[in-house]
Amino acid sequence: MNRFYILSLLGILSLFLACETEYIPDIPNDEPDIVVEGYIEAGPNARPPYVLLTQSTPFFSTINAEALNDLFVHDAVVTISDGTNTIPLTEVCYNDLSPAQQELVGEALGLGEADSIGLNICVYIEANLAPALGEVGKSYDLRIELEDKVLTATTTIPQIVPVDSVRYVKLPEEADPTLRELRGFLTDIPGVASYYRYFTQRNAEPLYPGLNSVIDDVFFDGQSFEFPITRGQGRTDIIDFDTFGYFWLGDTVTVKFCTIDQKHYDFWNTLEFNTASDGPFSSFTKVQSNVDGGLGVWGGYGVSTKTIVIE
Q: What is the pLDDT of residue 150?
A: 97
Whether the per-residue pLDDT at 142 is higher than 70: the answer is yes
Four-residue CA torsion sign, 69, 73, 74, 79: negative
pLDDT tens digit sequence for 57-76: 776 666 666 667 788 999 99
Q: What is the pLDDT of residue 2?
A: 42
Query: Could you give the CA distance from residue 308 to residue 74 in angstroms, rounded to a whole number?
Result: 40
DSSP bridge partners of 170: 180
| Residue 200 backbone dihedrals phi, psi, to 5 degrees | -130, 150
Whether the per-residue pLDDT at 240 is higher than 70: the answer is yes
Confidence of residue 4 (pLDDT cuts 50, 70, 90): very low
Across residues 99-106, what is the average pLDDT? Answer: 73
Q: What is the pLDDT of residue 102?
A: 76
Hey, is 120 helix, strand or coil? coil
Which residue intervals of 214-301 are DSSP H helices? 262-276
Q: What is the pLDDT of residue 222?
A: 96
Q: What is the pLDDT of residue 98?
A: 79
Per the CB < 8 A criterion, the answer to whether 86 and 126 are in contact is no
| Residue 168 backbone dihedrals phi, psi, to 5 degrees | -125, 150
- Greater pLDDT, 261 or 133: 261
Which residue intervals of the chain are DSSP H helices? 2-19, 65-69, 99-109, 262-276
Query: Could you give the CA distance from residue 134 to residue 82 in angstroms, rounded to a whole number?
Result: 9
- Greater pLDDT, 34 or 108: 34
Enumerate the domain spans of the chain.
34-156, 163-309
Give the up-direction half-sphere exposure of residue 266: CA atoms within 13 A in the CB hemisphere.
12
> What secondary structure letter does DSSP report for 292?
B
DSSP bridge partners of 253: 202, 308
Q: What is the pLDDT of residue 39?
A: 95
Query: Could you give the CA distance from residue 13 to residue 11 in angstroms, rounded to a whole number?
Result: 5
Distance of CA 255 to the CA centre of its chain: 15
Residue 199 is which amino acid? F
Per the CB < 8 A criterion, the answer to whether 236 and 217 are in contact is no
**Angle at alpha carbon of residue 267, lines to 184 and 276, rounded to 5°:** 70
Residue 302 is which amino acid? G
Per the CB < 8 A criterion, the answer to whether 29 and 42 are in contact is no
Per the CB < 8 A criterion, the answer to whether 256 and 207 are in contact is yes
Start-to-end Cα distance in the chain: 65
Whether the per-residue pLDDT at 37 is higher than 70: the answer is yes
Whether the per-residue pLDDT at 269 is higher than 80: the answer is yes
> What secondary structure letter does DSSP report for 209?
E
**Residue 107 Cα distances to 112, 115, 200, angstroms:** 6, 12, 15
Whether the per-residue pLDDT at 300 is higher than 80: the answer is yes
Q: What is the pLDDT of residue 38?
A: 95
